[in-house]
Amino acid sequence: MLTILNAAKRVIVGRPFRNDRLSHTLLPKRIALPVFASDALSSVAYAPDEILLTLALAGVSAVAFSPWVGLAVIVVLLTVVASYRQNVHAYPSGGGDYEIAGENLGKYAGLTVASALLVDYVLTVAVSMSSAAHYLTTAVPDLHGQQAMLAAIGVAVLALVNLRGVKEAGSVFAIPTYIFMASILGMTGVGIFQAATGQLGLAPSAAFTIVPAPGFDEGLVGLAGAFLLLRAFSSGAAALTGVEAISNGVPNFRPPKSRNAAATLLLLGIIGATMLAGIMFLAQATKVHIVLDPATEFLLNGSPLPEGYIQNPAISQIAQTIFGAGSIPFYIVVAATGVILVFAANTAFNGFPVLGSILAQDGYLPRQLRTRGDRLAFSNGVLALAAGALVLVLAFNADVTKLIQLYIVGVFISFTASQLGMIRHWGRQLKLVRDKADRRRMAKSRVINSIGFGMTALVLVIVLVTKFEQGAWIALLAMFILFLIMWSIRAHYDNVARELAVDEDSSPRALPTRVHAVLLVSHVRKPVLRALAYARASRPSRLDAVTVDIDAEETAQTVADWEKLGIPVPLTVLASPYRETVTPIMDYIKQMRLDSPRDLIVVYIPEYVVGKWWEQLVHNQTALRIKTRLHFEPGVMVASVPWQLKSSEEAKNLQDVQ
């Protein structure tokens, strides 16, 4: 069975890589851009929709403010990109916001940032995959209603690609990401030309009248209107997610790592801002309308829409308006957008495992997350991220609008903490450096990070105020729980380290008074005789054999066979009135410990080695239970004595041939 599983793993994941192949997985900028920036770039597929959807609560007149909300998001995006360019130069190790916050603000701040980032990475995958599923139903309407299943399949496929290694994943994602950028920028260029020449038409939803939500009948007026604008801005701020992934992925860049990462960040900022601005302009120019529930919030000539109407995303409506429904450019734009949303989740699949590995090295996560797998990827981190994303996709039925409410809270917590940490970092450095050129550079970086801190802190407050009741509290609760889990893991590791530390009582010169060996006997067969020989060869101070009286006839036969062979070791029969095996043995061992507390007790257990998985189910179950119980007894050692059955030899020969 193990051989079959190993062969299947090789087919799915590929041949294992040697450690010296690690340098071959480093990424050039042309691959790093689609690998690390696809999340932020792809946000133009859902951030404009969320802005339009939120403003639509106040009617058609409120939607006219969408370009200004988009402009505010772009300003924050460019500010954060400029700030993170300072981060990657100062902290190129890959710890990113976690390392910056922990080193400059303390371990509690670092752990808070780590929990926020881990939750946000999971949400990145869930949101991107859910949005991709919705775009797929745009091209294939028959799939409408199956978004959750499609998103779950996408998560599984993406996890598999990443298990094969980061460079292979980057090569797979590069071409579609560049096609997406070219299609969106090309569509923007054509749309602007049509608008300038008066040829730009109206979106399919332009003719719909939006029914304002209760309380917004007069549009964006008063405190309610201001709050709605802030809420739309906070939803659009999802365009900033993914920026932090580059700072966590600096170790995956080719040298010079920091400079290449900073250059990739600059490209991300310019391209992302251009694409978002283009979509927001075209959405306003073509009168794209998007609402939460088209059946109740849209009216056509004063009447509800026909039953079965499917609301398409903003990019789909813009492409249909510019190129025409069913045209080749239309399908290219829709397909590229759907694919990039799938690949956008790859940003998280690169950031989450690296951050998980760093946290595991620091003792805050299980140590299994710190090592690379067969393909030099952090396989356990990839699997953990995929599992978390699948839970969210299925729990929220791939509803992007619901998931987006949980989104970006964590990333702005990390943004704000890291910028505050960078301010303190540059402050300390300025006290140590005397070179004027270096001081000017550091002072400039501190100003940039100070502006970034002020802006991200303001956005964080807006996000918390506007999104808390809509679902942000769930993300905050998840961060708090994760914080407690990581702190508990660290406390456990610290306690274990203290308990296992060598002291005077654990001197290698300290020996037990005597060694008392105990052989467990069920029947007098070859495995028992082999275990007996090994026990005698170890020359213990005392050697006893014990058997449990479960069946009187079998016990009598065992005793007779033992005496017939003239074995010079006493065989003790343990009574078992309730036909148990484990309890009488444990009582016997515990009594020995009470009688001679300084003696070392070694229990020899004969075990079968089988070659087929189903054979394991019918052998060694009692031995396993006994070993498990004995492991909790101080002063007791367990020695398993294997006996290889014929099937195990056949399995070994088959493995040797392969």
Which is nearest to 430 in space by CA: 417, 445, 451, 418?
445
CA distances from 434 to 86, 91, 355, 440 (A): 20, 21, 34, 10
Tokens standing for 379? 């396989």
In whole angstroms, give the CA distance from residue 62 to residue 54: 9
- Check: CB of residue 316 under 8 Å from CB of residue 334: yes
User: Could you tell me if 565 and 524 are in contact, meaning their C-beta atoms sit under 8 angstroms apart?
Assistant: yes
- Give the end-to-end CA distance of the chain in Å, rounded to a whole number: 14
CA distance 150 to 136: 9
In three-state secondary structure terms, 648 is helix
Which residue type sits at 648?
A: S
357/348 Cα distance (integer angstroms) = 14
Confidence (pLDDT) at 1: 41
The pLDDT tens digits of the residues spanning 217-260 come to 776 777 888 888 988 898 888 788 778 777 777 877 888 888 89
pTM of the model: 0.70
Query: Would you say 291 and 210 are in contact if contact means Cβ atoms under 8 Å apart?
Result: yes
Per-residue pLDDT of 307-360, as tens digits, reads 778 788 899 999 999 999 889 999 999 889 888 877 777 777 877 887 888 888
Nearest 5°: phi and psi at 251? Answer: -60, -20
Please work out, in degrees rounded to the nearest 5, the angle formed at the alpha carbon of residue 406 by the alpha carbons of 206 and 100: 120
Residue range 82-87: mean pLDDT, rounded: 90
Question: What are the residue boundaries of the structural domains of the chain, listed by start?
Answer: 2-15+28-494, 509-657
DSSP SS3 for 656: helix
Q: What is the pLDDT of residues 433-479, one digit of tens each?
A: 888 888 999 999 999 999 999 999 998 998 888 888 878 888 899 99
The answer for 78, left when phi > 0, alpha when psi is -120 to 50, beta otherwise, is alpha
Per-residue model confidence (pLDDT) at position 500: 66
Lowest mean pLDDT among 54-63, 67-76, 387-396: 54-63
Q: Does domain 509-657 have CATH number 1.10.10?
A: no
Helix axes 166-196, 328-361, angle to 10 degrees: 140
Cα three-residue angle 110-116-119, rounded to 5 degrees = 140
Domain 2-15+28-494, CATH among 1.10.10.10, 3.40.50.450, 3.40.50.140, 1.20.1740.10: 1.20.1740.10
**Is the pLDDT confidence value at 658 over 50?**
no
Per-residue pLDDT at 618? 58
